[in-house]
Each structure stands twice: as C-alpha cells, then as structure tokens.
C-alpha cells in the first residue's frame, strides 16, 4: 500500500518537489522556540549588516532580528532587542554608512524583552519616537531595564499607518504570542518593481502558555487563530520576522549578489505560516484532550 502511494506521488509531483514533500518537517512549539531564540551568544553576536531589498536593511544579531528602514527624512528601526544589544545594532547601522542619530521612529514586534527592551536606550541616544500596539502597552510599561520607564510616544491600533520620508508601514494586530503582537507590512521598490514586505511579529506558543481555560486571557486560542487569518490574508513577496530563522536568513545571506534577490520568497512566507500554525494546533489539541480528560 505504501509503495503504491509513493508511486502515485512520484507520478503527480515533480521529483524534486516530491523529495522536499517527503522530507517536510513537522515542528513542535518547543523546537520552533529553540530555532528562533538561539543561545545567549547568538543573541548578542552581530550578523553581517546588509541590504535586504530597496530601503530595508538588516542590523540585528544572529538570532534577534532588527531592521532599518531608510528614508530621506530619517530612519525607522524595527526592534531594539535587549538593552545590551543596542550597541550591536548601533554599530551595524554605522557599518552600513548610516547615522544611528538619524533614527526617528522605533517600532517593535511584540512586548518581550528580546525585541523591545532596548527602546528606552535607543530613545536616549536618538530622541526617536517609540510607537507600540495598544494591547502591548501594559506589558511594555512593566519593562523597565535599569528602572527606566518604557517610553511610548504613540499608541497604535490595528491598521494604523506609520509614515516617514515617503515610506509607509502598516501595523497588523496578530495576537496570541502577546496580546499586541504586531506584524508590519510595507511596499518597497527595487529595480523598477514594487514588492510587498512583511515582518512577522511571531505566532509561536510560549512555554507554559495555556490555550485552554486560561484565566487571564480566556479567548487566547481565538486570538491566535485571528493572527493566522491576518497573516494568510497579507500579500507577501519578501518575508521577514522577529527572529532571522523565521525567514532562513542563514541560508539566504550567502546567495546575496549571486543571482536573483534571495529574500524574494513568496513560498517561504506561506511555509513559515504553515509550520507556526501547525505547532500551535498541536499544542491546542493536546491541551483540549487533557482538559476533556479532567472532566
């Protein structure tokens, strides 16, 4: 039976695609967490700063993504990471030939320290305006490295636009990982063409997250589902994420300048959403079974 099935697959799918299909990995939530977060060393070690597409640049570390959007009126930083990694980001910006002091706006993916703890330090260094999704404000207000209050100059709502120097980013609420987890989309020009860029906030299930009978967030499973619906509804040519592993940076970077832009990867976007939703559904199903067994 299995052999017949394999023959059918081979006939219906090109050989290369069949091989990739057969090798497809089903990720667990814990595996995705480890893939994304990495080690402390990876969190602090700079990844070579580089142009991704158009006016979008990478200025993060090996496992914590930070992006610089360059405009004629100043620049936008997406994710300040840990406070201790702000100097790493600043050096990457400088190494690319830009002035860190020209950072005018700071945005974030979600209210976890590894993505937004450095907001206060960046504001001190640049006087940039810090903007965050309303649902994440309570968590951010409790994020006080060195007892510094977390700056929030503009509270964003789902669908709000952030515009600077002719570039507009749209904030999409993709909740679950945090209440205000934010996915950013923008249109970028390169080579006479326009591309849709999406920076996925994160849809991973945190260790210990209760998706069933959660007293603090009773509808958390529905919030995750809403987030996945939003992601699937976005047009995306260039997928990015709050962790570089979310868009296979280590595999794509060596290909830069050796052919077509490797960051243009529509299929990769769909694949990442699929594996994150698959991991979420695994956890949800397991917790639903455990809850039913206790009744």
The verdict on residue 18 lying in a domain is no
Query: Which CATH number covers residue 214?
Result: 3.60.15.10
The verdict on residue 16 lying in a domain is no
The verdict on residue 61 lying in a domain is yes
* Cβ–Cβ under 8 Å, residues 118 and 85: yes
Exposure of 119 in the CB half-sphere (CA atoms within 13 A): 31
The verdict on residue 22 lying in a domain is no
Query: Which residue shows structure tokens 């080579």?
Result: 191
Q: Residue-wise over 210-249: b if at least 16 C-beta within 10 A, else e?
A: ebbeeeeeeebbebbbbbbebbeebebbbbbbbbbbbbbb
Q: In what order do the strands lie in the sheet with 161-164?
A: 161-164, 167-173, 182-190, 193-200, 238-241
The verdict on residue 3 lying in a domain is no
The verdict on residue 166 lying in a domain is yes
CA 115 – CA 217 distance, rounded (Å): 22
Phi, psi (deg, nearest 5) at residue 246:
-70, -15
Domain span holding position 82: 27-293
Name which of 35, 45, 32 is nearest 81 in CA terms.
45
User: Is the whole model's pTM more than 0.85, yes or no?
Assistant: yes
Name which of 230, 205, 190 is nearest 282 in CA terms.
205
Token digits of residue 50: 């580089």
Give CA separation, 98 vs 70, 93, 146, 196, in Å. Answer: 9, 6, 28, 24
Domain count, the chain: 1
CA 171 – CA 208 distance, rounded (Å): 27
Token digits of residue 11: 């006939």
pLDDT, tens digit (0-9, with 9 covering 90-100), for 124-169: 999 999 999 999 999 999 999 989 999 999 999 999 999 999 999 9
Partner residues linked to 50 by β-bridges = 58
The verdict on residue 20 lying in a domain is no
pLDDT, tens digit (0-9, with 9 covering 90-100), for 22-43: 345 789 999 999 999 999 999 9
The verdict on residue 274 lying in a domain is yes
pLDDT, tens digit (0-9, with 9 covering 90-100), for 56-68: 999 999 999 999 9
pLDDT over 70 at 9, yes or no:
no
């Amino acid at each position: 039976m299995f052999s017949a099935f394999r023959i059918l697959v081979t006939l219906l799918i090109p050989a290369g695609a069949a091989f990739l299909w057969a090798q497809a990995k089903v990720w667990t939530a814990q595996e995705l967490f480890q893939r994304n977060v990495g080690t402390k060393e990876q969190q602090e070690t700079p990844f070579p700063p580089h142009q991704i597409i158009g006016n979008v640049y990478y200025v993060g570390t090996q496992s914590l993504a930070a992006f610089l959007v360059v405009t004629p009126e100043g620049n936008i930083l997406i994710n300040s990471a840990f406070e201790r990694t702000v100097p790493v980001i600043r050096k990457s910006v400088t190494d690319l030939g830009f002035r860190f002091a020209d950072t005018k706006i700071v945005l974030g993916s979600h209210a976890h320290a590894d993505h937004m703890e450095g907001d206060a330090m960046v504001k001190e260094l640049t006087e940039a305006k810090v903007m965050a999704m309303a649902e994440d404000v309570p968590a951010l207000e409790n994020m006080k490295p060195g007892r510094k209050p977390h700056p929030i100059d503009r509270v964003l709502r789902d669908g709000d636009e952030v515009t600077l120097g002719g570039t507009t980013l749209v904030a999409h609420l993709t909740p679950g990982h945090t209440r205000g987890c934010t996915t950013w989309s923008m249109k970028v020009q390169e080579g006479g063409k326009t591309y849709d860029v999406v920076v996925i906030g994160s849809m991973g299930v945190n260790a210990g997250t209760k998706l069933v009978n959660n007293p603090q967030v009773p509808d958390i499973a529905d919030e995750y589902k809403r987030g996945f619906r939003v992601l699937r509804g976005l047009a995306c040519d260039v997928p990015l994420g709050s962790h570089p592993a979310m868009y296979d940076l280590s595999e794509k970077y060596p290909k830069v300048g050796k052919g077509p832009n490797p960051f243009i990867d529509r299929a990769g976007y769909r694949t990442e959403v699929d594996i994150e939703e698959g991991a979420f559904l695994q956890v949800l199903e397991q917790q639903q079974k455990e809850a039913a067994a206790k009744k």
